[in-house]
Structure 1
Amino acid sequence: MTERQLQFRVGIFVIIAAVSAAMMIFQFGEFGAFWQRPITVVVHFSSAPGVQPGGPVEMNGIPIGTVRDIGIDRRRGGARVRVDLLPRFQVRSDARPRLIRSLFGDTTIEFTLGRQGRTLRDGDVLEGLPPVDPMNVVARLDEQLRTTMASFERTSVQWGRVAENINGLVDNRRGDLERAIGESAVALAQFSKTMTSANALFANANQVLGDPRQQHNLRQSLDALPRLVGETEATIKAVRRTVLTVNTNLVQLQGVTAPLARRGDSIVARIDATLGNLESLTADLGRFSRVINTPGGSLSRLARDPALYRNLNESSGSLALLLKNLQPVIRDLRIFSDKVARHPELLGVQGALRGSAGVKEPPREANSGRGARRNN
């Protein structure tokens, strides 16, 4: 291999490496943003320490833009930061920018993820959240620690006083403490007995619950519980319907009793008059009962003398027999009256001399007319 060939190959390699590097830079360097017009929004902060033009703007740790410039908001006060956002990141109008400072003083504008509203447009103004300075947090923590230590010191002094009081109480009330300790021992013994009884109770409960038959009964009871609840609910509904019906009846009854209440005076007057009439009727009935109960009276004799009752019974029987025997006579009288009405001449001399068959006969005028026609 000659030196010229070596140089040619090295040149080809350098060209290929340069083209590959350029392609990788264009692929991963997001140079497409240079041909896209950014969305410029204004963020107002009460203070913006550490913010510089070209500073990063992120959302959930992903770069979405840079800081264009920073200035003072003379109308509202505070800092006025203009931010260029990449168009492909559609930031919602409810997103809130916040300043994030690290321990080394690096400042980043972090946007929260908005979920509602429209996307941001050029010139929109957002209200930023103030930054959290770690040094200020440490300073406040130091102040709180000093306050806590002072409180702990005061608490220690108070606990020392409590210990002194307890020591004095123990020295002065030693006999009482011994008696209290003895009573505590008795109480502990009673508590031990109680716990023994409780253990026995739990053992009996375990024995009862461990019985398969009891478990089966308990399972049946638990299975029947939903049905019982359903029946109870149905009963409550029925009671509610009954109460509503009673309420409706009471309302209707109120409508009925309202006219009675308005006519109460007249009704009471009528009831009073009715009671007076009933009282007079009761007096008349009393007099009538006294008349009946008089020993010599007719009604009393009729009620008490059986001979009079028998006579009345026999008289009624005789009257019934008489009426039965009078029926043929009445029938003959009806026939006689009918014949007399048809032939009144039967009551004359001819009727007395000439006998009759006792039955209805055709009219004589009709017979005489037929005889005359026959002679002609």
Structure 2
Amino acid sequence: MARKANPALIGAFVVGAVVLAVAALVVFGGGKFFRQTQAIVAYFDGSLKGIAIGAPVTFNGIKIGSVTDFKVVVDPKAATIRTPVFFEIDADRLQEASGIPITFHKGAPGLKLLVERGLRAQLELQSLVTGQLAVALNLYPDAPVRLTGLSKDYPEMPTIPSSLDKLTRTLENLPVDALIGDARETLSSITALASAPEIKTVLLSVNKAVTGFDALVQRVNGAVTPLMASIDKTMANVDNTLGTARDTMADLQRVAGRLGPVVEATLKDYQKLAVDTDAKIGPLVAAIQKTAASAETTLGQAQRTVAIVDAALNDDSPLRYDLANALKEIQAAARSLRVLTDYLDQHPEAVVVGKRSNGAPR
């Protein structure tokens, strides 16, 4: 007879399996089932080579989500092919300053405000070795808002071309054939120029010039050595002169220290002399002023005397006549005296023997 199954054991087994399944979801799902996420779509014009599900979505270098899906969508109206990339953003990773998460659902004011301020999505190269891409979000206020309006279920994030796309477009627009042709012509010109005989002549001239320059350098080196020795000797003399100057300055300082008291005493004597001079100048000035007053009085009297004499010596004055006669007599006496003096000078014996009648001494 078969044994009956134990219901408690079966129930415990089922409960354990459920617990293991939940634990596996928590561990391997990274807590995805317990996180609040927001789905967003972005339409990129460039190549999506290197993008993969699970690729990181970053904002200013910080991971805030991951790529969940990407598709190829044909737009029959515009006759273009679109490649939307779907990604999720953790609501807790992007929030306002107050701590309230920013909602990105379609028509949400938070997303609209950020887009107006320049929020854009851009493909970014994760590694040059692997070539894997990531979605980078950042603020580009000067970038235009480019929306397709094709998504009906998810809010759309405007995009801008990646740096790799810009480089690719620049390279594609380059006139490669023309550049290659120009390069070939340039190489041909260089080859022809290098094989020209003038170039060989120039190279020989340059070689001679270099040889002459080497000889000149050697001569200069030979002349510089004695010059450097002379400079060293001159510097030694300069050092000695500076030492002598220092000693002289020290002596001058010592002399100045000794002369200081003498100069101070001399200054005091000059100050005392100035005080005495100031005291004596007052009476002297008073005496000079008194003398000047007396001189003025005397000058007035002299002026009056001159006026009287001038009146007395008038042409009609008797005094003038008598004075003229007296002057004539004085002149005659002076002439006689001069004649006598000349005679005695020639005949000094006349003082003893007298004057002869014929004019000669007796």
TM beyond 0.5 = no
More contact order relative to length (CA 8 Å, sep ≥ 6): 2
TM-score range, shorter chain: 0.3 to 0.5
